[in-house]
Chain A
């Protein structure tokens, strides 16, 4: 089973700043099958990034993903108030298709 470790656990930033979230895998993620999700309180997760770097439909271009192998990054270039939420990475290259433990992005 691939274990995904996200860091930091909590990230405290202000609107307008740049956010960099990390996701490290215990083994190589097949074909960069790595996704990022955003979850706000009381809501289902929302897909932001798939294939490590492809933005899902309707996702603003301030969100970008990068990385390969075992190290992946989600970058939010200029934080908007609505971006403060919890972010999860997930690998879907090898069953079980595990999630990271999440990074809370707080104001």
Chain B
């Protein structure tokens, strides 16, 4: 079964750093892009960026460029989303997702369960 398993909920203080993860299983991890999507409380979906683990090609939304870092470790089939200094406005659910088509940026047909990040002093 193709799955994306995300790390658990986090509660952090402003200014702290954080890395959340997304582990792929049941498919060739290096052959599919992995994207990250933010959903702030009660709000819509926002496309953050996407990485191709095969060669670490990364594309960021301008809205998130410089605010987060996307990476992947293909040896353990895991993608990451990282913050160096969190703000209260980073409070949101974060989803990782895999496109339908191998090797292409495409519609997302496989989604992780989401990681809730809460930033509060």
Contact = CB atoms under 8 A, between A and B. Distances in A.
Nearest to B99: A92
Interface residues of A, number: 25
A102 B45 contact: yes
Interface stretch (A10-18, A19-27, A43-51, A71-79): A43-51
B50 interface: yes
B66 interface: no
A90 interface: yes
Contact of A95 (B59, B63, B109): B59
B27 interface: no
A97 B50 contact: yes
B47 A96 contact: yes
B45 A96 contact: no
A99 B47 contact: yes
Interface in A79-107: 86, 88, 90, 92, 95-102
Interface of A: 1, 33, 35, 37, 39, 44-47, 50-51, 56-57, 86, 88, 90, 92, 95-102
